[in-house]
Structure 1
Amino acid sequence: MSAEFAFQRGLVWLRNDLRRQDNTALYRAAKSCRHIAALFIACPQTWRSHDEGDPVVAFRLACLRELQQGLAERNIPLYFLELPKFEQVPKALTQIARRLEIDALFANAEYPLNEWRRDTAVREALKKIDVPVEYSTDRTLLPPGAVKTGSGDAYKVFTPFKRAFIERCGGSEFAPLPQPRVMDEDKVWPSWIAVEAAHNLVQTIPDQLRGYGAVPAKNGQLLGWKPGEKAAAKRLRQFREDIDGYADERDFPAIDATSRLSPYLNCGAISIRQCVHMALQLNAGQWTGGSDGVSCWLGELIWREFYTHLIAAFPRLCMHRPFKPETDKVPWSYSEADFKRWCRGKTGVPIVDAAMRQLNQTGWMHNRLRMVVASFLSKNLLIDWRWGERYFMQKLIDADFAANNGGWQWAASTGTDAVPYFRVFNPYSQSKKFDRRGEFIREFVPELRELSDDEIHCPPPSADYPPPICDVGQSRKHAIEVFASLR
Structure 2
Amino acid sequence: MSVIYWSRRDCRLHDNPALTEALTQGATQALFISTPTQWQQQHLAPIKADFIERHLKQFATELAGVGLELIHLQARDFNEQQTLLKAFCQSHQIKTVLANSEPELDEINRDMQLIESGLDLKLYQCDTILQPGSVLNQQGQMFKVFTPFKQAWLKSVRGQGIDCVASPKRAASPVQVEPDSLQLDFPKTDSSAWPLSEQVMTHVLPQFWQNKLLDYKNKRDFPGIKGTSGLSPYLAIGAISPRWLALQLIQRHPEVIEDTEHKAFAWLNELIWRDFYRHLLFHYPDLIKGDSFQAKYQSMQWLGSDEDFSAWCEGRTGYPIVDAAMKQLLRTGWMHNRLRMIVASFLTKHLLVDWHKGERFFMGQLIDGDFSANNGGWQWAASTGCDAQPYFRIFNPITQSQKFDPSGDFIRKYLPELAAVPDKEIHFPHAYLEKNGLTHLYCPPIVDHKRARLRALDWYKAY
SS in 2 for 1:416: coil
Aligned match of 2:21:
28
- The aligned residue for residue 465 of structure 1 is 442
Q: Give yes or no for the alignment of 1:325 onto 2:325.
A: no
Structure-2 change in CA distance of 1:326 and 1:175 (3 Å): closer
SS, match of residue 257 in structure 2: coil
Give a deviation string over 1:123-152, Cα, whole Å, max 9, x none. 22344xxxx322111010122111122112
Residue 250 of structure 1 pairs with residue 227 of structure 2: no
User: 1:100: which partner in 2?
Assistant: 92
Q: What residue is the counterpart of 1:274 in the other structure?
A: 244
What is the aligned partner in structure 2 of residue 142 from structure 1?
A: 130
TM-aligned CA deviation for residue 184 of structure 1: 5.8
RMSD of Structure 2 on Structure 1 (CA): 1.9
Identity %: 40
Over residues 420-472 of structure 1, what are the superposed CA-to-partner deviations in whole Å (9 max), with x where a residue is unaligned?
A: 00000110000000000000001010000100001110102411100111011
Alpha carbons of 1:290 and 1:46: their partners in 2 closer, same or farther (altered >3 Å)?
A: closer
Q: Contact conserved, 1:91 with 1:125, CA < 8 A, in 2? A: no
Q: Which whole-Å deviations, capped at 9, do the CAs of 1:198-239 have from their partners, x for residues lacking one?
A: xxxx86344441xx32213xxxxx151123433344332222
Contact persistence 1:288–1:295 (CA under 8 A): no
CA contact (8 A) 2:256 2:262 kept: no
One-letter amino acid of the counterpart of residue 64, structure 1: L
Q: How far apart, in 1, do the equivalents of 2:148 and 2:345 lie?
A: 25
8 A Cα contact 1:78 1:203, kept in partner: no
Match of 2:204 in 1: 235
Task: After TM superposition, give the deviation of residue 169 of structure 1 in Å.
Answer: 2.1
Matched, 1:343 2:313: yes
Of residues 149, 160, 183, the one that matches 2:148 is 160
The more displaced of 286-295 and 425-434 is 286-295
> Which shows bigger deviation, 422-431 or 461-470?
461-470
Distance 1:369 1:172 in 2: 36
Report the more deviating stretch, 48-57 or 167-176.
167-176
Q: Which moved more, 1:173-182 or 1:61-70?
A: 173-182
Q: SS of the residue aligned with 2:162?
A: coil
Match of 1:215 in 2: 189
The letter for the 2-side match of 1:447 is E
Partner SS state of residue 254, structure 2: coil
Counterparts of 2:390 and 2:261, CA distance in 1:
30
> In 2 relative to 1, CA 94–53 (structure 1 residues): closer, same or farther, beyond 3 Å?
same
Cα distance change of structure 1 residues 237 and 425 upon mapping to structure 2, 3 Å threshold: same
Rounded to whole Å, the distance in 2 between the matches of 1:17 and 1:476 is 43
Q: Which range is displaced more, 457-466 or 381-390?
A: 457-466
The structure-2 alpha-carbon separation of the partners of 1:307 and 1:48, relative to structure 1 and needing over 3 Å to count, comes to: same
| Count of aligned residue pairs for this structure pair | 454
Tell me if the contact between 2:304 and 2:351 (Cα under 8 Å) persists in the aligned partners: no
Q: Is the 8 A contact 2:334 2:366 kept in 1?
A: yes
TM-score between both structures, scaled by the size of structure 2: 0.94
State the Cα distance separating 1:9 from its structure 2 match.
Answer: 3.3
Residue 135 of structure 1: SS of its match in structure 2?
A: strand
Structure 2 unaligned segments of length 5 or more: list them: none
CA distance in 1, matches of 2:239, 2:181: 17
Change beyond 3 A, Cα 1:279–1:341: same
- Partner Cα separation in structure 2 for residue 478 and residue 297 of structure 1: 36
Structure 1 residues 94 and 340 mapped into 2: Cα distance closer, same or farther (>3 Å)? same
- Structure 1 residue 402: deviation in Å? 0.4
Distance in 1 of aligned mates of 2:170 and 2:90? 25
More divergent stretch after superposition (242-251 vs 226-235): 226-235
User: Deviations 1:363-398 (Å, cap 9, x if unpaired)?
Assistant: 110000000000000000000000000000000000
Q: Does 1:49 align with 2:41?
A: yes
Aligned partner of 2:422 in structure 1 is: 452
